[in-house]
Copies of this chain bind each other. A is one copy, B any other.
């Protein structure tokens, strides 16, 4: 069943069927009705591949993520899908699983399917691959790491905003020894978060002790290791800010195993606000980097490139704000009360022994 079948049955030409389906206004209402009747009766669905072939637009947007199972991404994928449906697009989802080969294949697959644009949420991509895509004039949008070139947009995350809030929140709770567990410092976004922390501390005149800055790896295990390191420090921190939520969850788990209570003995702040953060016990205070908003910006960026031919060349920057979400993993510093401090010391000694 194809467009010709419809044309025959409606006693019009295929051109008229095509026009009707595409809602070209110049078609006679009478004929249109006849066409629609047949279309609905037969349950005719136009072939997208054929349309794409002739129109040169596939109405597919690619989305490259590092791992779908990374809790940061499901919300983004869902939002992206919602937008795709709304705008009559399809989503081509691809994951690199941290494998350069897979990244290359992702790009190849995008090109073979002739996507109309690609959102790259994998915090970095080889120049040659960007070149492959741009050579074919595929609009691109990155987060943070987008090169300044025509046809590619960039979403700039305001790490400083939320992290400053977090630091000041902790300071207001009378924490002064605040530790920071970073992400892998090969990641630009991790470096940015760490820098934001250091600046935020400096802004309010707090020292950041070197031994309180630990390099993690954005995993739960990394968070667990980090807390262990922090426990071996002479004067322990009373609060820990983490470069992402999974790290904070790791810290929380290890704290539990050592009988350190969150937030009574240790205040904890994450980053990202993945959904799981709400499910933790206690619910995690964290800096929110809205995944919905991120997806929105990315989709709009691609759409802008596609829809407007004239502007499509301009590099554009979008801003993604971050903000602190206070839940239950932060409290007044234990050390502010001598009694509590003593109690805590006793507990820690007995447990870590």
Check A90 for interface membership: any CB of B closer than 8 A. yes
Residue of B nearest to A253 (CB): B281
Contact digits for A112-141, partner B, Cβ 8 Å, 1 yes 0 no: 111000000000000000001001000000
Asked if B90 contacts A113 (CB within 8 A), the reply is yes
Residue of B nearest to A135 (CB): B43
Chain A interface, DSSP helix/strand/loop, else mixed: helix
Measured between beta carbons, the chain B residues less than 8 angstroms from A276 are 276, 279
Q: State which of B74, B82, B90, B111 has its C-beta within 8 Å of the C-beta of A92.
A: B90
Measured between beta carbons, the chain B residues less than 8 angstroms from A47 are 53, 112, 114
Could you tell me the distance between the alpha carbons of A86 and B73 in the complex, rounded to whole angstroms? 22
The number of residues on chain A lying at the interface, defined by a beta carbon within 8 Å of a beta carbon of chain B, is 50
Asked if B85 contacts A78 (CB within 8 A), the reply is no
Check A249 for interface membership: any CB of B closer than 8 A. yes
Check A332 for interface membership: any CB of B closer than 8 A. no
Check A109 for interface membership: any CB of B closer than 8 A. yes
Asked if B78 contacts A249 (CB within 8 A), the reply is no
Contact digits for A270-302, partner B, Cβ 8 Å, 1 yes 0 no: 000001100111100000000000000000000
User: A104: shortest Cβ distance to chain B, in Å?
Assistant: 11
Could you tell me the distance between the alpha carbons of A329 and B92 in the complex, rounded to whole angstroms? 39
Check A67 for interface membership: any CB of B closer than 8 A. yes
Asked if B114 contacts A95 (CB within 8 A), the reply is no
Residue of B nearest to A275 (CB): B69
Could you tell me the distance between the alpha carbons of A319 and B347 in the complex, rounded to whole angstroms? 50
Knowing A49-B49, A113-B49, the reply to whether A78 touches B68 (Cβ < 8 A) is yes
Knowing A102-B85, A252-B281, A281-B281, the reply to whether A67 touches B78 (Cβ < 8 A) is yes
Contact digits for A50-82, partner B, Cβ 8 Å, 1 yes 0 no: 101100001000000001110101110110011
Measured between beta carbons, the chain B residues less than 8 angstroms from A109 are 85, 90
Asked if B279 contacts A249 (CB within 8 A), the reply is yes
Residue of B nearest to A91 (CB): B93
User: A40: shortest Cβ distance to chain B, in Å?
Assistant: 12
- A selection of 14 A-B contacts at a CB cut-off of 8 Å is A43-B132, A45-B108, A45-B111, A47-B114, A48-B113, A49-B114, A73-B74, A77-B77, A90-B92, A90-B109, A91-B92, A256-B282, A276-B276, A281-B281
Measured between beta carbons, the chain B residues less than 8 angstroms from A71 are 74
Asked if B74 contacts A68 (CB within 8 A), the reply is yes
Residue of A67, A85, A249 ringed by the most chain B CB atoms within 10 A: A85
Q: State which of B73, B114, B135, B282 has its C-beta within 8 Å of the C-beta of A48.
A: B114
Residue of B nearest to A92 (CB): B90
Contact digits for A27-42, partner B, Cβ 8 Å, 1 yes 0 no: 0000000000000000
Could you tell me the distance between the alpha carbons of A160 and B85 in the complex, rounded to whole angstroms? 38
Measured between beta carbons, the chain B residues less than 8 angstroms from A45 are 108, 111-112
Q: State which of B95, B111, B253, B256 has its C-beta within 8 Å of the C-beta of A78.
A: B95
Asked if B77 contacts A68 (CB within 8 A), the reply is yes
Check A94 for interface membership: any CB of B closer than 8 A. yes
Quick one: which of A84-101 are within 8 Å of B by CB? Answer: 85, 90-95, 97
User: A293: shortest Cβ distance to chain B, in Å?
Assistant: 15
Residue of B nearest to A278 (CB): B220
